[in-house]
Chain A
Amino acid sequence: MRDVLRLGFILFAICAVAAGALAFVNDITEERIAAQAAMKLEQALESVVPGAEEFRDETDKVLALKVTVSDGGRPEFPLIKRVYVGYSNGEMVGAAFCCTPSGYGGPIDAVVGVSRDGVVTGLTVVKHTETPGLGANITSRDFQMRFVGLRAGSPVKVAKDGGQVEAITGATISSRAVAGAVDQALRLFEVATREGVW
């Protein structure tokens, strides 16, 4: 019994020291990491909606729509986390949808840009934990360009599911996740346009 307490105490002490050290490191890095994430988001928005000079976070306005158009309040766009609308001289030029589909190794943070007339203008992956060399290739320009030019109207799917986008070899799950995000972004864009949000 005494032994159990002794061992438990030692393990507790080691965990406490480790937790303290982690808290300390988190404390000194948190602010910088958040600042970098904000900068990265800014860059991502600019790259997917070309021509926009200013972005406004209109998530609440756009996502509020889903309740009115979905049956029984079921969220129809569960992958979409934030919506930023790009303006140039006060005129709306496009919208960027921040999506978090589930990939093979965890959530993928992707930003999908849609122009005013409903065409995908850009796609970028901000953060992911896909397998290096396979799923991680979703960050490659070659793959992302496969989505540019797609229009709202027909569902976006990988070729294996009968769609129009060629998946990365050996990384169907990661490719499918990105395709799902683009699909929801386009559909939400269509709904928002129909409802006259912009």
Chain B
Amino acid sequence: MSFRSELTKGLVRENPTFRILLGMCPTMATSLAISNGIGMGIAATFVLVGSNVIVSMLRNVIPSRIRIPCYIVVIASFVTMVDLVMAAFVPKLHEVLGIFIPLIVVNCIILARAEAFASKNGVLYSLADGIGMGLGFTLALTGLSAIRELLGTGTLLAVPDFGFPGFKVFDRSLAAVMVILPPGGFITLGLLIGLLNSLTRRKKKAAQA
């Protein structure tokens, strides 16, 4: 176990979205446009790092029998504080990321990392785990939303909050609206997981040969 391997495992090896299949609800809901994917990813990473560090610090204080309610109190308080501080001091950013914040509370990646990692490991490793998992989630969301935005709307990188319409790749009338609706999201996710699995399998085989 090293700081570096804890940091990088979330990117591909133990990617929360593609490998552990956690946090499907916010994944489906926010992977509609690249700007949304990145926004949700950043907000979730921030909360994940904070909650991992706090849970790790409290791991010897919290009795194991009541650990889940304790983690939920810690996470919910942290999310609320982030929400209030952002609304007060960076209102523009809050306007853009604010809608993701209530979704973070139901993001089980955060509870899962608290339970599976932060409650058993030191603060430094938990910090690395939080950053890595958060970045992995951001990466997965960005990839998924790039495909869905392109096929579903025909544009890329639209940021409606700033009034930026995005780069038009093909006409909207040719876009498959189903891709931005939940069924299309699950199909895209399934295909991406399959692709990633076949790539790693091939790599493993090459390593064995």
Contacts and interface: CB of A to CB of B under 8 A. Distances in A.
Given A11-B70, A14-B74, A22-B80, A137 B62 contact: no
A105 B84 CA distance: 19
Interface of B: 29-33, 36, 39-40, 58, 61-63, 65-66, 69-70, 73-74, 76-77, 80-81, 84-85, 87-89, 91, 99-100, 102-103, 160-161, 163, 177, 180-181
Interface string A161-188: 0000000011000000000000000000
A132 B40 contact: yes
B91 A170 contact: no
A139 B158 CA distance: 14
Nearest to B100: A132
Most buried by A among B40, B73, B163, B177: B73
Nearest to A34: B88
A130 B29 CA distance: 10
Interface in A132-181: 132-134, 136-137, 139-141, 169-170
Interface majority SS (helix, strand, loop, mixed), chain A: helix
B99 A132 contact: yes
* Most-contacted residue by chain A among B39, B81, B163 (CB, 10 A): B81
Contact of B73 (A18, A105, A136): A18
A129 B106 CA distance: 14
Nearest to A105: B102
Given A130-B99, A132-B40, A170 B81 contact: no
Contacts of B29: 131-134
Contacts of A140: 160
26 contacts: A10-B63, A10-B70, A11-B66, A11-B69, A11-B73, A14-B70, A14-B73, A22-B77, A22-B80, A25-B80, A25-B85, A26-B84, A29-B87, A36-B87, A36-B88, A128-B99, A129-B102, A132-B39, A132-B99, A132-B100, A133-B29, A133-B180, A134-B29, A137-B160, A169-B177, A170-B177
